Amino acid sequence: MKLGIIGLPQSGKTTIFNALTRSSRPLAMSAGRVEITTAVVDVPDERLLKLADLFSSKKIVHAQISFADIAGLGGSDTSKGLSGQLLNALTGMDGLLLVLRAFEDPSVPHPHGTADAARDLRLVEDELLLNDLIIVERRIGKLTEERGKGGRDIPAIERELALYTGLQEKLSANKPLRETSLSSDELKQLAGAGFLTTKPLLIVLNFGEGQSAPSFPSSAPLLSLQGKLEMELAQLSPEDAEIFLKEYGLEESGSRRVIRAAYDLLNTQTFYTIGEPEAHAWMLRRGASALEAADTIHSDIARGFIRAEIVAGQELLDLGGMAAARDKGRLRLEGKEYKMQDGDVINVRFNI
């Protein structure tokens, strides 16, 4: 899972990147330049640790998320569209975390004078919308030209023109493409075109210590966290972090909340393969089948799929092992179509 942290200059992107990845990148001003830093983190997973313990697994492999701190939006001149480097970085992301500045600090100048999260959201969304509109208009120009020349399959050109004209209308009305319903065929057709408003978006309100979490109307999912505080928290040992959280009356770290929200945003769940050599957590789309789970592990395993032995991870823990799960009939044999549930432990029987 790849998540890009975006936002206006000085909104707290690097601060939050540090909090999420336990990095200590200096908070140097990007001053509108394109700068991209990436770090990969293990997804914290107590269930995985317990399962590994139960099976005396020698190796533990966590699911991973890659976070990229992407500076460069909200530069001085936004009329020409995004630079290739920025566009490349953004299109490579599965989802975007949009940091909005909600902290008050006179020593940190705001690029637009005053703190106004709603306006900042509009500014960033406008930049993404403009990018998509430029793509759409270029494509419409090209298709119109092709039609004029009587080139390839005219009905196919007409169909694509209709699709792109529809997108143009939505974008011109400031509607991000993620809010328009597109069929999976259409989405496939649009993949690779470089659209940004199709990306799932999570808004992260960065508010200051001692300030209260602002209320903020938004159609996108949203969470608020105290960036500076979370960055300090991320540098502490687990024991000290525990004390720190209590002191500040926080139930859990912002990074855990962000990761959970990201799983929801990207419609992702976890399944496990567990054995003595290795306990492994995997990410999977919610609603995916046992065959897709097998393919996540290895395409050969999917190709040779016969049956899958499946048991809910929590049940396996409660019952204390595979033998008990089998005795109690909780270890089921499922076919390719079985719909995976969050926390399932799978063992694929395959033949290649």
Ligand X SMILES: Nc1nc2c(ncn2[C@@H]2O[C@H](COP(=O)(O)OP(=O)(O)OP(=O)(O)O)[C@@H](O)[C@H]2O)c(=O)[nH]1
Determine the residue with CB nearest Mg ion: 14
CA 114 to CA 106: how far, in whole Å? 10
**One residue of 7, 11, 12, 14 binding Mg ion per CB under 5 A:** 14
By beta-carbon proximity to ligand X, the closer residue of 33 and 138 is: 33
> Contact residues for ligand X (CB under 6 A)?
7, 9-15, 27, 29-30, 71, 103, 105, 108, 206, 208, 226-228
Helix and strand totals (H; E) in the chain: 13, 12
Residues 6+ apart with CB under 8 A from 224: 102, 204, 205, 206, 207, 213, 214, 216
Q: Which does 10 bind (CB under 5 to 8 A by kind): Mg ion, ligand X, none?
A: ligand X
Helices 13-21 and 227-234, interaxial angle, to 10°? 30
206 binds Mg ion per the rule CB under 5 A: no
Residue carrying the six token digits 């200059």: 9
Q: Which does 313 bind (CB under 5 to 8 A by kind): ligand X, Mg ion, none?
A: none
CA 34 to CA 127: how far, in whole Å? 14
Report which DSSP code applies to 50.
H
By beta-carbon proximity to ligand X, the closer residue of 103 and 271 is: 103
Nearest distance in Å: CB 334, ligand X: 46
Nearest distance in Å: CB 53, ligand X: 37
Nearest distance in Å: CB 28, Mg ion: 7
Site size toward Mg ion (CB under 5 A) is 4
226 binds Mg ion per the rule CB under 5 A: no
Q: Which does 103 bind (CB under 5 to 8 A by kind): ligand X, Mg ion, none?
A: ligand X
By beta-carbon proximity to ligand X, the closer residue of 73 and 316 is: 73
CA angle 312, 317, 318 (to 5 degrees): 95
Nearest distance in Å: CB 25, Mg ion: 8
CA 19 to CA 276: how far, in whole Å? 33
CA 261 to CA 81: how far, in whole Å? 30
For residues 28-87, which are near Mg ion according to CB under 5 A?
A: 30, 71
Q: Which does 278 bind (CB under 5 to 8 A by kind): ligand X, Mg ion, none?
A: none
Nearest distance in Å: CB 17, ligand X: 7
User: What does residue 124 show for φ and ψ, rounded to 5 degrees?
Assistant: -70, -45
Number of other CB atoms surrounding residue 254 within 10 Å? 23
Q: Given the rule CB under 5 A, which residues bind Mg ion?
A: 13-14, 30, 71
